[in-house]
Amino acid sequence: MSDNYLIKGAHSILTGARGDAARSPASDVRVADGIITEMGTDLLPQPGERVLGARDCVVYPGWVNTHHHLFQSLLKGVPAGINLTLSPWLQAVPFIYRRAYNEERLRLAARIGLVELMLSGCTTVADHHYIYAPGMGYDASAALFEEADRLGVRFMLQRGGGTVTRKLEDDDSTRVPPETLDGMLADVERIAARYHQRGPRARTRVALAPTTATVSVARGELREMARAARRMDVPLHTHMSETVSFMEHCRAEFGCLPIEFLAEHEWLGPDVSLAHLTHLTDGELRLLAETGTGMAHCPQSNARLADGVARAPDLHRLGGAVSLGVDGAASNEAADMLSEVHFCWLMHRAHAGAGTRPRPQGAGEAGADTVSVEQVVHWASAGGARVLGFDGVGTLAVGQAADLAVYDLDTPRYFGLHDMAIGPVVAAGRPRLKWLLAAGRVLVEDDAIPGLDMAALRAEANADVLRLARDI
């Protein structure tokens, strides 16, 4: 239940919008019934409002995380996979451990991941969950929605899984029985009937999301999936073009590039989002931009697994839809949005500089400003809402959802900043989260989640990590 608030006296407000609208001249934000009703300076409290003093604080839109695997929150830093690239890492970590998951373990992992995200300022989470099998004995989808609801964040389930067993999984230690297409579609329809909300400021949404469209389902099923999703009015999501092997596989098997393959099977459009897209040709970039297909850019995971650097700035320049996701904690041991935006900003500057030829007076590094702080904030807020289809979410403006983070830059890491507004992105670390609001409800206050016993959660996580090692 939301209350009425007046956030008062902020030093700076970044809105998540593009261009000149990226920074607001306001210092105060009025919130009523879960919506931003006024922004300005020297606003006076109204009867019944609670004033949240934000002096020396910066206000950001709540982050929108467009790609995660919450079950991996109990798989951070697994020694067997820490130095591996994607394919052997999949076999050594998530594919082996997923068979040890039951409802209790999934709920614990989801709770850990959601708490980590919230304390970074995240208010909307899309979880690409793919542990599904016939007769698994519990409702994983309901468990994930319930954990998100308890903590108060907006939540999209990207319902994964597959109808074939791919080579990477075809081993006694990693094999999981595949679903049938009819069974998978029927389950998505069931989940959507219960959880998929449409219209402004939705709280829960569902996507049909086979784990990897080129290998997790039979080629003949892909177009049927797309048409079924559109009949149900739910979006589509999948992993795509994460490594060079995606391109090699599509050329060898289908005689085309991955994005061309998706186009042939009706898998492009503004209702489609694709995780990673680390390797794209110029033609594929144009296809994505022209169709409005969304990119869930996961820079830290792509670096961790040595996948490469996605051409997010190029897609942005073409008018395409770019967002940020943290991916799973098993390939991003800091699966929070503050780490993600900081690394994203730095990585693209480094990548731009590495791709230029030296010239006098540093001109060889021209283009290192290819990604600005405001642009990264836009990707991680408004861009994410666009990609996931959360209308009325992602920017700080009158009429928008009151999803926002108030950061207090009160530690030495942020002392000396000439532009406090950019501190959470450029200085890294984790500033004290004074308040986090989602739909006008306070989820975090004074850097703590009310009612959450953090010590108990830590003890539960530590104990379950030991059990997991014994269970595989």
* Total domains, the chain: 2
Q: What is the pLDDT of residue 313?
A: 97
Closest by CA to 324, choosing from 24, 68, 23, is: 68
Q: Dihedrals φ, ψ of 404, to 5°?
A: -155, 155
Q: Which of 357, 381, 405 is the last residue of a domain?
A: 381
Q: Are 46 and 160 members of one domain? A: no
Instruction: Tell whether 153 is covered by a domain.
Output: yes
Question: What is the Cα–Cα distance from 51 to 3, expressed in whole angstroms?
Answer: 11
Instruction: Tell whether 289 is covered by a domain.
Output: yes
Q: What is the pLDDT of residue 366?
A: 65
Q: What is the pLDDT of residue 356?
A: 61
Question: What is the Cα–Cα distance from 64 to 255, expressed in whole angstroms?
Answer: 36
Closest by CA to 58, choosing from 467, 423, 470, 428, is: 423
Please state whether beta strands 5-8 and 321-324 pair in parallel, antiparallel, or not at all (unpaired): unpaired
Instruction: Tell whether 186 is covered by a domain.
Output: yes
Q: Are 270 and 293 members of one domain? A: yes
> Considering all CA atoms of the chain, what is the largest pairwise distance in Å, rounded to the nearest integer?
68
Structure letter (DSSP) for residue 448: B
Q: Are 400 and 328 members of one domain? A: no
Instruction: Tell whether 455 is covered by a domain.
Output: no
Contacts of 139 (CB under 8 A, 6+ apart): 103
Instruction: Tell whether 454 is covered by a domain.
Output: no
Q: Which of 331, 352, 381 is the last residue of a domain?
A: 381
Q: Are 348 and 268 members of one domain? A: yes
Q: What is the pLDDT of residue 365?
A: 63
Q: Which of 381, 407, 427 is the last residue of a domain?
A: 381
Write the DSSP assignment of 356-422 as a string of letters. Answer: S---GGGGGGTTTTSS-HHHHHHIIIIIHHHHHT-TT-SS-STTSB--EEEEE--SGGGTT-S-GGG
Q: What is the pLDDT of residue 352?
A: 86
Q: What is the pLDDT of residue 1?
A: 52
Question: What is the Cα–Cα distance from 218 to 313, expressed in whole angstroms?
Answer: 33
Q: What is the pLDDT of residue 358?
A: 61
Q: Are 266 and 389 members of one domain? A: no
Q: Are 283 and 265 members of one domain? A: yes
Q: Are 418 and 284 members of one domain? A: no
CATH number for the domain that contains residue 143: 3.20.20.140
Whether the model clears a pTM of 0.85, i.e. scores above it, the answer is: yes
Instruction: Tell whether 275 is covered by a domain.
Output: yes
Q: What is the mean pLDDT of the chain?
A: 95
Is residue 36 a contact partner of residue 29, using CB atoms and an 8 Å limit?
Answer: yes
Q: What is the pLDDT of residue 369?
A: 73
Q: What is the pLDDT of residue 469?
A: 87
Closest by CA to 335, choosing from 81, 77, 151, is: 77
Range of the domain at 161: 63-381
Q: Are 362 and 408 members of one domain? A: no
Question: What is the Cα–Cα distance from 368 to 353, expressed in whole angstroms?
Answer: 6
Coil, helix or strand for 253? helix
Is residue 403 a contact partner of residue 123, using CB atoms and an 8 Å limit?
Answer: yes
Q: Are 360 and 390 members of one domain? A: no
Q: What is the pLDDT of residue 471?
A: 85
Is residue 387 a contact partner of residue 321, using CB atoms and an 8 Å limit?
Answer: yes
Contacts of 31 (CB under 8 A, 6+ apart): 2, 4, 5, 6, 7, 37, 402, 437, 440
CATH number for the domain that contains residue 27: 2.30.40.10
Coil, helix or strand for 133? coil
- Using one digit for the tens of pLDDT, what is the confidence trace for 397-410? 999 999 999 999 99
Q: Are 28 and 131 members of one domain? A: no
Q: In the sheet where 28-32 sits, what is the strand order?
A: 35-40, 28-32, 5-8, 50-53
Q: What is the pLDDT of residue 2?
A: 64
**For the chain, which residues score pLDDT lower than 50?**
none
Q: Are 89 and 46 members of one domain? A: no
Instruction: Tell whether 194 is covered by a domain.
Output: yes
Q: State the amino acid at position 146 in one-letter form.
A: E
Q: What is the pLDDT of residue 357?
A: 60
Question: What is the Cα–Cα distance from 172 to 40, expressed in whole angstroms?
Answer: 62
Sign of torsion over alpha carbons 71, 308, 269, 265: negative
Instruction: Tell whether 461 is covered by a domain.
Output: no
Give how far Cα 451 sits from Cα of 83, 211, 443, 454, Å.
38, 35, 10, 9
Q: Are 122 and 151 members of one domain? A: yes
Give how far Cα 263 sits from Cα of 30, 124, 213, 284, 287, Å.
44, 29, 12, 10, 8
